[in-house]
Chain A
Amino acid sequence: MPTLGTRIADWLDEPVPLLRLEIVRIAAPLAVLGFMSSRLAHADEWIGDAGFRVPDLGGDWRQPLFIPALPAWLAWTLAGVMIASGLACAAGYRARPSAAIFAATLAFVALSDRLAAFTVSKMSPVVMLAVALGPAGSILGVDAWRRDRAAGANGAGPDGGKGLERPLAMQPIGSVRFLQVLPVVIYSASGIAKARGDWLHHPLVLWSHLHDSYQTPIAFALASALPGWSWTVFQAMVLAFEMLAPLWFGWSRTRPYALVFGLGMHAMIGLMFGPVVWFALLMMTLLVAGHTPERLVVKWSRPFAA
C-alpha cells in the first residue's frame, strides 16, 4: 500500500495540462494590474515622497518592514516596470522573466506601503513567482508565436526542429499543483477563521458588511430586496463551502460543483463589494485554471500544444 509521501509524489509527477498555467499567466497579471491601477495612477503618493508615509516605528508589529519613501522619479519608474512586466507576462513576451520581475515589484510595493496593501498585494507576488518557475508562455503568447515562426523558417514546421518543438500539452508541472492547492488552502483557513469568529453564532455577519463604503448599487439593491433570513442562508452556504473546501475540491465528483459555487461566490463578492472585485477576479482565475474539468482543458489545449 503506497504511503502518503508516495501518493503526494505520484500526484506531483502526474502530467497536467500546460494550459492551466497559461490561464494564470494571462489572467492573473491583468487582475493584479487592475487592483494596482488606482495606486499606479498616484505612484508618487503611494510609494514615493509626495504622499504621507508612516514613520519608522522601530519594530512595531503593524510595520513588517520600514522602507523609506522613494524619490518621485524612482516611484514612477517602478510603476512603469510593474506595468510593463505585468503586461509582458500576460502577452507571453519573455513570460518567465517578466513574471519574475512583476513578482519582485509586487513584493516591494506590498512591503513599502502597508496602507494600500490588501490580500491581492500579499498573494500576487507568490502567484507570479509560481508562474515564473513553471513553463509559462510556452504554448500561448508572443514567445510561443516566435518559436513557431522560427521553426517554420527552419523548415521544421511548428511541430519539429531542434529546440523549437511545441511543448507537450500534458506534463508534470509543480507550479500548477501549487496553484491548484492555494485557493483550497485559503478557503479552508478562511472558513475556520470565520467559524472561530462570528459566523456560527451571529446570523447576520454577511448583512452587517453590506452598508459601508464598499457598497455597490447591486449590493444596495439586493440588501433592499432580499429578506433578512436569506443573508443567513448565504452565510451558511459560504461557511460550508469554505470550511469543507478540501473535500469539495479533493473529491472528483464534487469538484465541478465546487468550481461553479466558487465562481458564483466570487462573482457576487466582486459585484457587491466595490474594490474587492480584483481579489474576486484573481481567485476566479485560480479556480478556472486549477479546477476546470481535465477533459475540457485538454480539449482547449489541442490547438496549441503537441
Chain B
Amino acid sequence: MTRWFLGCLAAAYLAGVWLDGVGSTLPSSILPRSANYFLQVSALFPYAALASIDYRAEGWVCANGANGANGASGANDANGANGTDGKWEEIDTRPYFPIDADNKENRFQRVMHFYRDNRPTMHALEAYLIEAHGEGRADDGIPRDVPIAGVRFSSLRIPLPQPGEPLTRSERKPLSEYPESERQLFYHTRRSKLEARCAGQHDSPGDESD
C-alpha cells in the first residue's frame, strides 16, 4: 500500500514538473502555491536576454549632510527630488545583502527582479536601507555619519554586444558612469517626505512613498 502511494506521489510530482515546465496552468490551478512552487524547476532560460540587467540604489543626502536642517547647496534635479536641496548618491547595497554579493543571485537583485512593482515591498526595502545606513552597519559608499532621508531604485539595462564586436568583461561600475539612456528609475521616496525628513520631522503612521 505504502509502495503504491509513494509511486503515485512520485508520478504526480514528475507530471507536475513536466506540466509546469511546458506552460500548463493545471498544477497551479489545483495545488496550493507552496506545493506548486516546488514544481517550478524546469523552465530554464527560455527567452533571449535583451540586455544585461543590474539594479541599483541611491540615497538622498540632505543639503547640510545631516537630517534636521535644510541647506542651499548641492541641488540635484534628478527624478524624485526636483527642487529639494540635497543630492542623490549611490548606495552600495552589497554590504546589506552579502549573499552572492557580486552576481544576479544576490538578494537585492532578486527583490528588484520580483517585487519592483510591489509597493509594500519597496517601502519595506526603503526602510531597511535607511535604517541599515543610519546604524552604520557597513561602508556603503555614503559616509556613516551622513544620514539619508530617502532612496530611489533604478535598473540598468546595458546593451548586449553583437558577435564579432570587441567584448569587455562584465564588471560593476559606479552608477554615474552609465548614460541616462541605460537607466530606468522605478521607485523613489516622495519629495515632500524627503523635505520633511531633512527638516528633522518623523514619518507619521501610514506614510508611504511614491
Contact = CB atoms under 8 A, between A and B. Distances in A.
Interface in A178-212: 178, 181-182, 185-186, 188-190, 192-194, 196-199, 202, 204-205, 207-209, 211-212
Contacts of A113: 107
A63 B36 CA distance: 11
Contacts of B49: 208-209, 211-212
- Which of A51, A211, A215 has its CB near the most chain B CB atoms (within 10 A)? A211
A111 B39 CA distance: 13
A212 B103 CA distance: 8
B40 A122 contact: yes
A223 B121 contact: no
Q: How large is the interface on A (under 10, 10 to 19, 20 to 34, 35 or more residues)?
A: 35 or more
Interface stretch (B7-15, B74-82, B177-185, B193-201): B7-15
A208 B105 contact: no
A255 interface: no
Given A39-B99, A51-B97, A198-B46, 19 more contacts: A51-B107, A52-B96, A54-B111, A62-B115, A62-B118, A116-B99, A119-B41, A182-B17, A186-B17, A189-B18, A190-B43, A193-B22, A197-B47, A198-B47, A202-B48, A209-B49, A212-B170, A213-B104, A220-B170
B163 A228 contact: yes
Contact of B48 (A122, A208, A274): A208
A41 B169 CA distance: 28
Contacts of B38: 107, 110, 122, 125-126
B210 to A, nearest CB: 18
25 contacts: A41-B99, A51-B107, A54-B124, A63-B33, A64-B33, A64-B36, A110-B37, A114-B110, A114-B114, A116-B105, A122-B37, A123-B41, A126-B38, A182-B14, A189-B17, A190-B44, A193-B43, A208-B48, A209-B49, A211-B49, A213-B170, A213-B172, A227-B164, A228-B164, A275-B100
Given A110-B38, A194-B45, A197-B47, A189 B99 contact: no
Nearest to A177: B10
A276 B13 CA distance: 24
B20 A214 contact: no
Given A12-B7, A196-B46, A205-B48, A57 B163 contact: no
A116 B107 contact: yes
A53 interface: yes
Interface of A: 12, 38-39, 41-42, 45-46, 51-55, 57, 60-65, 107, 110-111, 113-116, 118-119, 122-123, 125-126, 130, 133, 174, 178, 181-182, 185-186, 188-190, 192-194, 196-199, 202, 204-205, 207-209, 211-215, 217, 220, 223-224, 227-229, 231, 274-275
B46 A189 contact: no
A42 B17 contact: no
Contacts of A126: 13, 38
Interface string B127-152: 01000000000000000000000000
B208 interface: no
B103 A185 contact: no
Contact of A220 (B34, B99, B162, B169): B169
